[in-house]
Amino acid sequence: MSARATRMPDARGREVGQEGAQEAGRFAAPSAAWIPVGWLYGLAARLHRACARRLRALRPRPACAVVSVGALTVGGAGKTPLAAALAAGLAARGHRVVLASRGYGGRSRAQVTRVDDRPRGARLAVEVGDEPLVLAAHAPGVPVLVGRDRRIVGHHAVSKLGAEILVLDDGFQHHRLARDLDIVAVDAASGLGNGRVLPAGPLREPGSSLRHADWLCVVGDADAVANPMTGATERSVPVRDAVSTMALRDDFRRSGRFALAAHRQPKSVVSLDGARRLALGALAGRRVGLVCGLARPESFRRTVESLGAEVACLRAFPDHHAYVEADLRDLDPALDLWLTSEKDAVKLEPAWVGRAALFVLGIEVVIDAEREVFAGIEAILRAAGRLPAAGPGSGS
């Protein structure tokens, strides 16, 4: 079957054409019926945050610094790899760092589960969700704890692991634990979407909630990604989509708060079973298929295309999709290879693939001007009395 004729399953598993595939994962224009529901959801979110702020003096805190990384949108902002990058960077500067995740989508009801020291695979992903495994992969050497009550997780991090800094993944809407720094990630291409709250749009709470964030991080595909074969560069973020996000960043800075930038960067291509590794440049000119359950599959697609590959097929599922063997059935072995994300790979078994060649495209989030960013975090935590006045990494 030619690339033009290939049909592409949308995020609900149905077959759609090329135009539908490009829009998979995006919120369409909301129907009139959803708008008042979104208004009520937004009102509830406002009241929840207002109550939490009134009671914030009573919020418990572990005996360590707490840095929260979160997002306003339901997915695709890059908050989880950003949290991992921040944790890894702080650990590299000599701090004892622990990552905390709620474990969204996991079945475990244990108060605290440590995942970084356990064999990774589909069974563990079912237990704790996919995000903790992404954290562990992107911040090697940093303990990753999973628990629904971050208060208990925080105290465990201090008492059992001697944490100096607790980094909360997806913590912006978690109001029960005090924090010293609130960082909100926003996707450069999608921004705040249509600006509406669930279910009429992608927002978990009204965009005005950004005023409660300390820092903003705009996470995008690299502005110019070099083609490894030709050396030519091409934009991987549509300018028309990025404009509103850049305006948001500028407004944030005008209010006297810090706005940083980060970008997604491909780093590896490894077979699902780990037996083979390809250079990134090896994707150039190849016809590939994509299998992913991401909030914004088009971002994954752009990254693949920026490496010179021709995307002939996209098999997209909902974000945090719980895979079964049937989901990988009939992957076309005639394609040069299939690619999936790290977030999806932790939920897949190599035995499910059949004759097709399925590889994992590793993508990391790289913080721009990271030396200044980490120095700024340390300064804030020292000013709050959460780190010693002259602690590890202060001279780096």
- pLDDT band for position 42 (cuts 50, 70, 90): confident
What are φ and ψ of residue 370, in 5° steps?
-65, -30
Report CA-CA distances (Å) from 268 to 155, 197, 262, 282: 36, 36, 18, 11
The pLDDT value given to residue 28: 52
Contact of 375 with 94, CB cutoff 8 Å: no
C-alpha torsion sign, points 242, 200, 21, 301: positive
CATH code given to domain 8-18+267-364: 3.40.50
For 264-274, the pLDDT digits (tens) are: 999 999 999 99
Instruction: For residues 350 and 337, give the distance between their C-alpha atoms in angstroms, rounded to a whole number.
Output: 14
Q: Parse the chain into domains and list their residue ranges.
A: 8-18+267-364, 59-266+365-383
Assess whether the region 8-18+267-364 and the region 59-266+365-383 belong to the same CATH fold: yes
For 131-162, the pLDDT digits (tens) are: 999 999 999 999 999 999 999 999 999 999 99
CATH code given to domain 59-266+365-383: 3.40.50.300
For 95-113, the pLDDT digits (tens) are: 999 999 999 999 999 999 9
For 241-261, the pLDDT digits (tens) are: 444 788 888 888 899 999 999
